[in-house]
């Protein structure tokens, strides 16, 4: 059976998981296939026991230092350089940071919209301009939009009903014309019959 190839991030998570299960460093090394030294580094990073004096920034784990940089709006490239981390690891930590700071919903919208994100920005600025950039006003706008859609639907339905009634009107007018024509024929026939009777007398 072919061995599963894990990424660096996946290996680190597996090391932490096994450590929390009470596995020894040697058992973890055999399971994950990394050195004892690397396991020690991962454990210290996870527990925040990096080398340095307590209270200094160096004492923070790499993850904590990365979160601190993200909070300070540092560029992701600068974070990767400063902490000597690869791009994927920085991106993974940044996603974790966004989740922790409740910004992951905004990022998911950004990834979903792609290039159309400029439309969302334009809409937001327009709402701000008109003093409507709050939840209540936005709800009212959407509610009015629903009303307009319903009005459009009613308009189409009414137009259809008008068309049906016009068709019925034309049919009735045709039937009335036919009845009038029949009535005219009957009247003529009765007049002719009357003249015949009068002549015979």
DSSP sequence for 128-187: HHTT--SHHHHHHHHHHHHHHHHHHHHHHHHHHHHHHHHHHHHHHHHHHHHHHHHHHHHH
Residues 123-166 have pLDDT tens digits of: 878 877 877 767 777 777 777 776 767 777 778 888 888 888 88
Query: How many domains does the chain fold into?
Result: 1
Residue 41 counted as domain residue: yes
Residues 177-198 have pLDDT tens digits of: 888 888 888 887 777 776 766 6
Helix (H, G, I), strand (E, B) or coil at 7: coil
Rounded-to-10 torsion of CA 120, 125, 129, 134: 60
The per-residue pLDDT for 118 is: 81
Look at residue 2 and tell me whether its pLDDT is greater than 60. Answer: no
Give the CATH number, domain containing residue 13.
1.10.10
The per-residue pLDDT for 119 is: 82
Residue 98 counted as domain residue: no
- Compute the mean pLDDT over every residue in the chain, rounded to the nearest whole number: 78
Mean pLDDT of 165-176: 90
The per-residue pLDDT for 77 is: 92
What count of other Cβ atoms lies within 10 Å of the Cβ of residue 67? Answer: 19
The answer to whether the beta carbons of residues 42 and 18 sit under 8 Å apart is no
Residue 79 counted as domain residue: no
> How far is it, in rounded angstroms, from Cα 93 to Cα 100?
10
> Which carries the bigger pLDDT value, residue 150 or residue 97?
97
Q: How many CA atoms lie within 13 A of 76 on its CB side?
A: 11
Residue 115 counted as domain residue: no
Query: Could you give phi then psi for residue 134, rounded to 5 degrees?
Result: -145, 165
Residue 44 counted as domain residue: yes
The answer to whether the beta carbons of residues 127 and 137 sit under 8 Å apart is yes
> How far is it, in rounded angstroms, from Cα 20 to Cα 70?
28
Residues 33-87 have pLDDT tens digits of: 888 888 888 877 776 555 444 444 556 778 888 888 988 888 999 988 888 888 8
Residue 186 counted as domain residue: no
Look at residue 11 and tell me whether its pLDDT is greater than 60. Answer: yes
Residue 8 counted as domain residue: yes
Residue 20 counted as domain residue: yes
Domain that holds residue 11: 1-52
Look at residue 114 and tell me whether its pLDDT is greater than 70. Answer: yes
The reply to whether the predicted model has a pTM over 0.85 is: no
The per-residue pLDDT for 47 is: 67
Angle at alpha carbon of residue 165, lines to 162 and 168, rounded to 5°? 155
């Amino acid at each position: 059976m072919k061995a599963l190839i894990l990424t660096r991030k996946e290996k680190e998570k597996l090391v932490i998981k096994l450590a929390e299960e009470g596995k020894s460093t040697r058992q973890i090394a055999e399971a994950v296939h990394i050195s004892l030294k690397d396991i020690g580094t991962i454990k210290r990073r996870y527990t925040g026991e990096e080398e340095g004096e307590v209270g200094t920034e160096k004492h923070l784990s790499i993850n904590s230092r990365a979160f601190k940089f993200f909070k300070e709006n540092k560029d992701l490239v600068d974070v990767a350089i400063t902490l000597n981390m690869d791009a994927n690891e920085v991106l993974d930590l940044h996603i974790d940071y966004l989740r922790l700071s409740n910004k992951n919903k905004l990022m998911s919208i950004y990834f979903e919209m792609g290039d159309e994100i400029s439309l969302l920005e334009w809409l937001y600025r327009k709402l701000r301009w008109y003093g409507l950039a709050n939840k209540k006003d936005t709800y009212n706008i959407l509610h009015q939009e629903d009303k307009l859609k319903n009005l459009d639907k009613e308009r189409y339905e009414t137009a259809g009903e008008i068309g049906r009634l016009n068709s019925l009107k034309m049919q009735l007018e045709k039937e009335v014309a036919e009845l009038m024509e029949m009535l005219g024929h009957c009247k003529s026939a009765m007049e002719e019959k009357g003249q015949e009777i009068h002549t015979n007398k």
